[in-house]
Amino acid sequence: MNLLLLILIPLLTAVAVFMMQNNNQVRWIAFFGSAIQLILSLGLYVVYTNARNHGDTAQMLFEQNMPLFKSWNINLHLGVDGISVAMIMLTAFVVVAGVLMSWKMEKMTKEFYFLLILLSMGAYGFFISLDLFVLFFFLEIAVIPKYLLIGVWGSGKKEYSANKLALMLMTGSALVLVGMFILYFGGGKSFDILQLAQTNIPTWTQHICFPLLFVGFGVFTALFPFHTWVPDGHSSAPTAGSMFLAGISMKLGGYGCLRVATYLLPEGAKEYANIILLLSAIAILYGAFATMMQKDLKYINAYSSISHCGFVLLGIGMLTKVAFTGAIMQMVSHGLMTALFFAVIGIIYERTHTRQVNEMGGLLKVMPFTITLLFIVGLCSLGLPGLSGFVAEMTIFVGSWENPDTFHRIVTIAGCMSIVVTAVYILRAIGKTAMGPLKEEYNHLSDAAWHEKLATIILLVGIIAIGVAPFWLNDLVSPGAELIMQKIQMAK
């Protein structure tokens, strides 16, 4: 399978969207483009597992290597392993759902879809590139769309949030940039991830480089204390924007932390693992407690995202194979779950014109479909077995328990405790929204429209597929996690 297709299809879709004059054409083209991409990524999964089952043990499949800037030794090196395939599928699901959720967007429709598709292209490119320079290019390509999506189509203090997000994410990328250069000149003038993994990077370089890369990518995935863009950015963005931000964009950071920082710099990872654990435990607990204080549905989900993404970093910091697998599963699970959550919030907000939990009540009577989804996604968030959240978090905890010392135990227990807090805020929020007497002005509210139903069902399918049968995802990603673990074990 030619991986370039994964970049070309969004690119062509974006161009086609930009060419169109009629809003209806724009919508359908964006939908078809993203639907083709979804089929393609499911096809990629099939082809990938087939190849693996037939005994193809290469680290990366479907590799392509084209020279780009010869004198800097920069190549367009593409390839996927199980982790990338999982992330690509996540992206495709969220993109289709996001496109469907914005069906009624009337303000500058063309530009909106253009930016949305451009943003998704950045994510696809990021997940398939094996060259640090190209990876960085795709990481940054998403900055403009994010900024404009929030600033133009957002709500509330949107300009402030857009600025904050763009500047903080750029700060993260600046750290990545410097780390990347040190790696390049310290690792034999190559940006190639596979080559860098083979070279022996000196210990002191690893110790300098690791914090730069990890914190740089960590900003994207709400590493405490660089999480402050998350609540503002998520709550100000339009529905599809929030879905993309939380569902895809935050995962870029987690993937980078794992694939670039931890995989290439195992000694650095060992050196700083305890600090990562401490920060992620703080993020988990802080995020959970901060959510308790929120009254706005979007803020609730944004703060709980900080808490859930803390689990990703916790899993990485534990440095065991099972915890790595759990971290990746948590990324996929949280991506689907949070996108669904934002979609449901979007549906509710479109009808009630408020996101304040206190102003709602009894919505279950008028919007049974939407509110049922809200229940499901809430239960997924608090880790109910049978849904994806439980699988991912459980895997992380099991992996964490492999570390026998007290510190790791305490951090793990602290992480587990947050689930109780999660239950409190989720149940309270859902209860206030769905139960109780229905306000009179909400009597006439209609349930989700066809496009909203389709969008949410697509995401729900993903959540349940992971929740009920987690083994396929586990089998997909654990060989990749195993490789990273081998690097860690070989390191001093």
Question: Interface residues with other proteins (CB under 8 A)?
Answer: 68-72, 74, 133, 137-138, 140-141, 143-144, 147-148, 151-152, 158-159, 162-163, 166-167, 170-171, 174-175, 177-178, 181-182, 184-185
Q: Closest approach of Cβ 225 to other proteins, in Å?
A: 18
Nearer to other proteins by C-beta: 89 or 162? 162
Enter the tokens of residue 85.
Answer: 């395939």
Nearer to other proteins by C-beta: 39 or 167? 167
Enter the tokens of residue 33.
Answer: 């483009």
Q: What does the CA dihedral 216, 94, 419, 467 come to, rounded to 10 degrees?
A: -130
Of the CA atoms within 13 Å of residue 373, those in its CB half-sphere come to 29
Residues 6+ apart with CB under 8 A from 489: none
Pick from 169, 114, 123, 110: nearest CA to 143: 169
Q: Closest approach of Cβ 310 to other proteins, in Å?
A: 25
Q: Closest approach of Cβ 489 to other proteins, in Å?
A: 29
Nearer to other proteins by C-beta: 128 or 284? 128
Nearer to other proteins by C-beta: 162 or 297? 162
Nearer to other proteins by C-beta: 141 or 366? 141
Nearer to other proteins by C-beta: 76 or 313? 76
Nearer to other proteins by C-beta: 31 or 133? 133
Residues 6+ apart with CB under 8 A from 459: 93, 94, 97, 336, 339, 340, 343
Determine the length of the chain: 492
Q: Closest approach of Cβ 76 to other proteins, in Å?
A: 9
Which residues is 98 bridged to in the sheet? none
Nearer to other proteins by C-beta: 45 or 138? 138
CB 152 within 8 A of CB 116: no
Q: Closest approach of Cβ 148 to other proteins, in Å?
A: 6
Q: Closest approach of Cβ 68 to other proteins, in Å?
A: 5
Consecutive H or E run containing 272: helix 266-292
Consecutive H or E run containing 14: helix 4-19
Q: Closest approach of Cβ 248 to other proteins, in Å?
A: 17
Q: Closest approach of Cβ 106 to other proteins, in Å?
A: 15
Pick from 112, 96, 107, 147: nearest CA to 17: 112
The per-residue DSSP string of 85-105 comes to HHHHHHHHHHHHHHHHHTTT-
